[in-house]
Structure 1
Amino acid sequence: MGLINTLKRLRYYSPMTQVVIVGFVCFLCPGMFNALNGMGGGGQMDRTTGNNANTALYCTFIVFGILGGSIVNLCGVRWTIAVSGLSYALYSGSYIYLNHTKNGAFTIAAGAILGIGAGILWAAQGMIMVSYPREEEKAKYIAVFWIIFNLGGMLGGILPFAINYHSESDSLSDGVYIAFVVLECLGACLGLALAPPSKVVRDDGTSVVLVKYTSAGREALEIVKLFLNPKMLGLLPMCFTSNFFYSYQFGPVNASIFNLRTRGFNNIFYWGFQMLAAYLFSFLLDNTRMSRRRRGLAAFALVTVFFNCIWGGTLKMQLRYTHGPLPSGETTDYPGGLLDFKDSKRAAGPMILYMLYGIGDALYQNLAYWIIGSLTNDNQKLSRYAGFYKGIQSLGATVAWQLDAKNVSYLHQLIGNWVLLVISLFPMFYVVATLKDHSEDLSVAKSADDEKAAEHELTHASTASV
């Protein structure tokens, strides 16, 4: 009976089906990118090109993340996601060129193009994920997406681990990059399978679209209003911090103290633990026996304690070394040299800590999306909110990747991450503490129904006059 009910919920025009489809798009596109990025420097021994490409990526991502929601509102989800997906394949393919020429210009340019595509894709994804479900199901839908999406990171960790298992090289082979390109092209094509939001109907018969019409002028005005919205300004530090830690975790930790095959091995569990954390976290966030505010405060407390604990453990580890492998051939100054997963006595502690990073990432970002989804149910507003979140997130990531590219000391990068986390907690607490049990757009839904009724009356009157 449970299986039959699940299958019924997976009808093509259901919200769950659409979230699953966009989950697999992100599994094959951003998921592969995350796996590649998780290797540190895009899987290259010298992280300079990878760091500069990420800086270029997030620079354009800032702009197109903020504009992305409006672009999706004007152009729809299918083609925006499909075309954006191809930018991931271009980026992965650029590393094949880098392997053979050692010229990073193409990779950096591909990173800038990817920033455009990623900004639009993530705005569309965020809108689908948090506006399609009913209010009491939002965390579950976020978790379903997060699990499917991070399967991509796991697969992307398995590929370099398996292909480079017996390799002594410090850079990924062409075969790994080709595999990424093929999978990302498949993901782009899958975007065309998405249904238009206007046709998506929830299980209770309600449409996911509250407002039908938009224009370039209106979207421009709404983007400006985002920066005047007290709630969005309160979430700005949270947005800025939400990806800031990636450059430190992937570079000064994973790429600096582990050998190549162990980096891939670590990423299998980094993304795997994200899936588990998102699934378990959804039970707290969707617990209807508690008010939305109480759920939010409990989740906030969990994230606060967890992140401070893992940064404390990281500080203890970071005080043991100052650099990773250098282009000159010098190895890391971590005691005993690079860690291999087979040397369990040395590697177990750092590997477990890296896996906990994955849990922390899932908790922080799932909470962020849940908070944003709690502000409204209007899909057009949420596409802009999701774009704002990803745009400001990219601003933080731009700064973070450039800090590593400029060889800022590992210890100072860690301190920066920790300080930013603490700063973000205060305004995040304010927003969570002021959440209401029902989103503010119920009046919008009513006005939309009134607009339809008025439109029907006008049509009827016109027909009668003829």
Structure 2
Amino acid sequence: MPFKIPGLPEVRLNSPYWQNVITGCLVGVTAGLYVALNLLGAGGGKPNSANMVQIVNATLCAVWFFSASFGGTVLNKIGPAITACLGVLGYILYVGSLWYFDQHGQLGFPIFAGVAIGLSAGLIFVTMGYIAMSYSEEDERGSYITMSINLQAVGAVIGGIIPLIINKDSTEAAGVPPAVYIVFIVMMGIGAICAFLLLPPEKVVRDDGTQVATIKPRGFVEELKANLEIFRDWKLLIMVPAFLPAECFLVYGGSVNAFHNNLRTRSLLGFISVVLQIPAGWALQWVLDNKKWKRRTRALLGLGGVGVPLIAAWVWEVVRTRNYDRSNPPTRPMDWSDDDFVSIFFLFMMNWVFSSLWQYIILYFLGCFSNSPRKAANYAGVFRGFLGAGEAICFGVDSIAVPYIKEAAVIFAFYTAGVFIFLYLALFHISETEYFKHEEGVVIPKHVIEEARADGVLPESEETSKEGSLQGVNVETGEKHQL
């Protein structure tokens, strides 16, 4: 029975808004807790712990590239519920493998779990991007993206407060109690069950009674061809330099944080940065969904609000690490009581928050170029695939102890390239809507015509390619009719 929470849409399972909330919660108990586990030092306490973490994370990210790139094909074939459930299961194996390594120090299980979580990460993030981009209306896309990513941050906050509490009075390494692993596994297990609350798209209904999408099933080969076909989209391809650094800040930030700061300072920085990410995300959402401005204006303001401080933070990072020698770490790591902590604190907050918001910008821009559920799934998959590839490369580079100034400079270069790429797209290729409007006031999504052509229902012709003279396609039956 639907019910109402003041200030929020009516609570009903088949609402696009609440389907998006469910997906965000699933990302929170998977990717959010994954961040918390890394901050906590799970799997630590063994002589080969650092090597284990590098191997597992590199394996994870390498597999993630392929699972995310083709995750859209899987989702379009088996639906969001099963895709999300499979996405959660790999994280459960990962937590279990860290617990096992803590107890026994054997590498085999964590490496296997690295493959499993790599597969799962692609599936859970494709589901998140698919629902955020295709279930939302054009004027609420920013809020859907913000909701799902902020719920991931909430998961990291819930898990991240643990290392802060454990290490608040100590600069020594603290082991991870078995109770922490058990609680995280239980939370993820509940998430796997809740994944089946995600309904097939044809059962999701907006408040006005319209369906978000009705997709005619296609065979696996056809879906795979459609996924590969998306790599011919030049707008997507020129965005790849923006995708690659999107999570490198996690690898770099964790590494330089461990090099320079003691344990309780690292825990504080990690916790506060995730907390600040949440209100910053809502502020960005207010810009991206502000109905007083045109779509292009919103894109430019959002890009400027994130891109300028992001570039400034990485310039600052390059400057401050110019004298860091990775072979000679400081004999006394920085503590939060030191005089220099304030500047380090502000830099870490700028770096983490605006690097996190960069992902909001990417998903918003991807959502500007299509309302197609199929294309949204494939877009989200390709983005997450290249994000994982960039992270895997960063893990590899960091593992061979490349000087921090060089590592920061390369990340800065990719972010800067991404800002200028999005600036070009915002100025010249973002339209006010992805709908064709007929002179009688009838609107049909562009993707309906595109997919009808792809399915052979509607041939390419002059009358279907011009606004104001369109053949509509019944989304459920595929039948043509003249508007």
TM-score norm. by structure 1 comes to 0.89
Aligned to 1:327: none
Aligned to 1:147: 150
Matched, 1:356 2:350: yes
Q: Which residue identity does 2:76 align to in structure 1?
A: N
Aligned to 2:460: none
The one of 118, 122, 135 aligned to 1:119: 122
Inter-partner Cα distance in structure 2 for 1:104 and 1:360: 35
1:441-452 alignment, distance < 5 Å: 442-445=445-448, 450-451=473-474
1:267-346 alignment, distance < 5 Å: 267-323=270-326, 333-334=329-330, 337-341=332-336, 343-346=337-340
Inter-partner Cα distance in structure 1 for 2:14 and 2:73: 23
Q: Which residue identity does 1:439 align to in structure 2?
A: E
Inter-partner Cα distance in structure 2 for 1:305 and 1:455: 46
Aligned to 1:374: 368
The alpha carbon displacement at 1:48 in A equals 2.3
Normalized per residue, the structure richer in helix is: 1
SS at match of 1:29: helix
Compute the RMSD of aligned alpha carbons.
2.5
Contact residue 171 and residue 262 of structure 2 kept, 8 A:
no
Contact residue 371 and residue 447 of structure 2 kept, 8 A:
no
Aligned to 1:130: 133
SS at match of 2:339: helix
Contact residue 5 and residue 11 of structure 2 kept, 8 A:
no
Aligned to 1:178: 182
Aligned to 1:58: 61
- Indicate how the Cα distance of structure 1 residues 104 and 260 shifts in structure 2: closer, same or farther if over 3 A, else same: farther
Contact residue 310 and residue 350 of structure 2 kept, 8 A:
no
The alpha carbon displacement at 1:135 in A equals 0.5
Inter-partner Cα distance in structure 1 for 2:362 and 2:475: 34
SS at match of 1:242: coil
The one of 51, 57, 60 aligned to 1:48: 51
Contact residue 43 and residue 102 of structure 2 kept, 8 A:
no
The alpha carbon displacement at 1:83 in A equals 2.2
Matched, 1:28 2:51: no
SS at match of 1:148: helix
SS at match of 1:9: coil
- Indicate how the Cα distance of structure 1 residues 177 and 339 shifts in structure 2: closer, same or farther if over 3 A, else same: farther
Contact residue 41 and residue 176 of structure 2 kept, 8 A:
no
The alpha carbon displacement at 1:238 in A equals 1.1
Contact residue 13 and residue 197 of structure 2 kept, 8 A:
no
SS at match of 1:206: coil
The alpha carbon displacement at 1:166 in A equals 4.6
Matched, 1:399 2:393: yes
Q: Which runs of 5+ in 2 are unaligned?
A: 436-443, 453-471
Contact residue 90 and residue 110 of structure 1 kept, 8 A:
yes
List structure 1 segments (4+ residues) > 6 angstroms apart after TM superposition.
446-449
Aligned to 1:67: 70
The one of 384, 387, 406 aligned to 1:412: 406
Matched, 1:206 2:210: yes
The one of 238, 241, 244 aligned to 2:245: 241
Aligned to 2:466: none
The alpha carbon displacement at 1:31 in A equals 0.4
TM-score norm. by structure 2 comes to 0.86
Inter-partner Cα distance in structure 2 for 1:42 and 1:128: 33
Contact residue 41 and residue 47 of structure 1 kept, 8 A:
no
Aligned to 1:103: 106
Q: Is 85-94 or 353-362 further displaced after alignment?
A: 353-362
Q: Which residue identity does 2:216 align to in structure 1?
A: K
The alpha carbon displacement at 1:127 in A equals 0.4
The alpha carbon displacement at 1:41 in A equals 8.2
- Indicate how the Cα distance of structure 1 residues 395 and 295 shifts in structure 2: closer, same or farther if over 3 A, else same: same
- Indicate how the Cα distance of structure 1 residues 210 and 292 shifts in structure 2: closer, same or farther if over 3 A, else same: farther
Deviations 1:289-308 (A, max 9, x none): 22211221222222221112
Inter-partner Cα distance in structure 1 for 2:42 and 2:316: 24
Inter-partner Cα distance in structure 1 for 2:216 and 2:200: 12
Inter-partner Cα distance in structure 2 for 1:409 and 1:338: 18
**Percent identity over paired residues:** 27
Inter-partner Cα distance in structure 1 for 2:35 and 2:296: 32
Deviations 1:395-444 (A, max 9, x none): 11110011111222222211111122223233332222211111267133
Inter-partner Cα distance in structure 1 for 2:166 and 2:391: 29
Aligned to 2:438: none
- Indicate how the Cα distance of structure 1 residues 134 and 43 shifts in structure 2: closer, same or farther if over 3 A, else same: farther
Inter-partner Cα distance in structure 2 for 1:154 and 1:188: 20
The alpha carbon displacement at 1:167 in A equals 5.3
- Indicate how the Cα distance of structure 1 residues 40 and 312 shifts in structure 2: closer, same or farther if over 3 A, else same: farther
Contact residue 32 and residue 156 of structure 2 kept, 8 A:
yes
- Indicate how the Cα distance of structure 1 residues 106 and 454 shifts in structure 2: closer, same or farther if over 3 A, else same: closer
Aligned to 1:266: 269
- Indicate how the Cα distance of structure 1 residues 285 and 127 shifts in structure 2: closer, same or farther if over 3 A, else same: same
Q: Is 56-65 or 209-218 further displaced after alignment?
A: 209-218
- Indicate how the Cα distance of structure 1 residues 8 and 123 shifts in structure 2: closer, same or farther if over 3 A, else same: closer
The alpha carbon displacement at 1:339 in A equals 2.5
Q: Is 438-447 or 399-408 further displaced after alignment?
A: 438-447
Aligned to 1:224: 228
Q: Which runs of 5+ in 1 are unaligned?
A: 325-331, 458-466
Contact residue 249 and residue 351 of structure 2 kept, 8 A:
no
Contact residue 39 and residue 263 of structure 1 kept, 8 A:
no
- Indicate how the Cα distance of structure 1 residues 359 and 108 shifts in structure 2: closer, same or farther if over 3 A, else same: same
The alpha carbon displacement at 1:168 in A equals 5.4
- How many residues of Structure 1 are paired with residues of Structure 2 in the alignment? 446
Deviations 1:126-153 (A, max 9, x none): 1011111110001011122222220111
SS at match of 1:287: coil
Inter-partner Cα distance in structure 1 for 2:223 and 2:477: 24
Inter-partner Cα distance in structure 2 for 1:186 and 1:261: 31
Q: Is 180-189 or 87-96 further displaced after alignment?
A: 180-189
Q: Which has the higher contact order (CA 8 A, sep 6+)?
A: 1
Contact residue 140 and residue 282 of structure 1 kept, 8 A:
yes
Deviations 1:187-206 (A, max 9, x none): 22221222222111112322
- Indicate how the Cα distance of structure 1 residues 123 and 310 shifts in structure 2: closer, same or farther if over 3 A, else same: same
The alpha carbon displacement at 1:39 in A equals 5.0
Deviations 1:328-360 (A, max 9, x none): xxxx734x622233x152322212221222321
